Amino acid sequence: MTATLVWFRQDLRLRDNPALAAAHQRGAPIIPVYILDEMGEGRWPPGSASRWWLHHSLVALDTALRGRESRLVLARGDSGSALQALAAQTNADAVYWNRRYEPADIARDKVIKANLRAKGLEARSFNAALLHEPHTVANKSGQPFQVFTPFWRNCQTLPVEDPVMLPAGPLPSPVLWPLSLEVAELGLLSRDAGGAGWANAWRPGEADAVKQLKKFMLHAVRPYADVRDFPHIDGTSRLSPYLHFGEIGPRQIWAAVRAQSRDSGVFPASRGAHVFLTELGWREFAHHLLFHFPHTVEQPLRAGFSRFPWRQDAAWLKAWQEGLTGYPIVDAGMRELRSTGWMHNRVRMITASFLVKHLRIAWQEGAGWFWDALVDADLANNTLGWQWSAGCGADATPYFHIFNPVLQGEKFDADGVYVRCWIPELAALPNEFLHQPWMAPMELLIQAGIKMGESYPRPIVDHYEARSAALAALEVMRTGDPDGLGQLQ
């Protein structure tokens, strides 16, 4: 009897999985497969936090499949070779998968599809990751968008497909299963540097993705627009890692928000729901940009920024990475990242701005650090976010807009709950000085048990001096005058 290989990648779920649903409709035995393939030019292998998440997500997926009297077959190496070998072993005559949109994966998948078809196998791919695939969205001139608002306005005129439902009951399985690696043999935990903290903060897997969506819909979607910028409030969806690994799909989220709006009699959606769906739109925009401008993973979209006089300072970069810059809101964010593999979005903007504007360290350095440290490290989102912060991407904040980290802390963490959580050595300071402890009177510092420069660092740069240097660097980039570099030190 023939069989269908279902090749799982970043779609580690059973619900709303078009490739799996199509395989089920074929009626032949289904062999779910995951291949750890870190080979190939232009590939971005997962960082340490993502590897930890992937390990546990694969365990969860295998458990879910076994609940359907199936299982997950694991392999590693070149995906095309592994799929052909599995097809030969299992007498499979079809391979189905859901598409990915990273540049290197698009190129690889085209080759794999052609080679499978050349071997006489049916090879089909589906969309499970986006509301609208990048090639289906264009402006009136047929060109890709580079500004979010018209992009999202256009998307909202397009229909969103309903989630694909998989029938209940056992999945059709082969009589004999091919050999499979154990999850541990993939070596995903070998570089794990923060698993204990990550495990306390997260539960990977489709079941927990659905729970998190339900929790958000019940408690946080309505006030979302008003509270999402405050890091001490549990006011965001925290769905980003589940979305990245495909443990839940954007169509499921879209459908849940729209259904709640209709059921509650509030239609169109409430302001909170509307703003939340717009954030889902930013994810779509990120993939749109990566698809059409693949060079932006490493190069600025705005070509002029290739001349920007970035600094190279290993000590400053390390201080930023370790949360030792002397600016509490920045340090709190970086420590949250190290501990949990995640950072609140407002604080991501603050920390990113500090790196590229106060320290003038290239955005690629920050993107690389986030890629390794975030459990939701997504190539499209990471690229968009860092180019936005650096002012060199699509619809980006201008480089001359420079966050004041003290004012940002006072505005979005006025009572200091977030800073005190992640920087306990400052906990005894009154709110007046919490976001600028170097300004506190000596007697207050003594009472709080703080020795500036010892128990907590002094600021590694002065905000106003750093701002002036950043603006001077921008002028050097604009004029191309190397003589202006002297004032940037």
Type of residue at 413: D
DSSP class of residue 90? Answer: H
Type of residue at 393: G
Residue among 44, 177, 282, 438 flagged as catalytic:
282
Type of residue at 206: E
Residue among 254, 345, 410, 475 flagged as catalytic:
345
Active site residue 91: no
Instruction: Report the distance separating Cα 169 and Cα 158, nearest Å.
Output: 34
Residue among 279, 410, 425, 475 flagged as catalytic:
279
Instruction: Report the distance separating Cα 39 and Cα 190, nearest Å.
Output: 18
Tokens (6 digits) for 285: 């925009």
Phi, psi angle pair for 390, to nearest 5°: -80, -10
3-state secondary structure 321-373: HHCCCCCHHHHHHHHHHHHHCCCCHHHHHHHHHHHHHHCCECHHHHHHHHHHH
Instruction: Report the distance separating Cα 408 and Cα 418, nearest Å.
Output: 12
Tokens (6 digits) for 323: 């949360």
Type of residue at 31: I
Greatest C-alpha distance within the chain: 82
Cis upstream peptide for 159 (omega within 30°): no
Residue among 53, 316, 363, 422 flagged as catalytic:
363
Active site residue 475: no
Type of residue at 60: A
Residue among 44, 254, 310, 438 flagged as catalytic:
310
Residue 54, number of CB atoms within 10 A of its CB: 22
Instruction: Report the distance separating Cα 390 and Cα 409, nearest Å.
Output: 20
In the sheet where 122-126 sits, what is the strand order?
73-76, 30-36, 3-8, 92-98, 122-126
Burial degree of 41 (CB within 10 A; 0-12, 13-18, 19+): exposed
Active site residue 53: no
Active site residue 363: yes
Helix locations, 202-344, DSSP H: 206-219, 224-227, 240-244, 250-263, 271-292, 314-322, 328-340
Active site residue 388: no
60: which residues sit within 8 A by CB, 6+ positions away? 12, 204, 205, 206, 207, 208, 247
Active site residue 371: no
Instruction: Return the bridge partners of 5, or none.
Output: 31, 95
- At 228 the three-state DSSP class reads coil
Catalytic residues: 279, 282, 310, 345, 363, 386
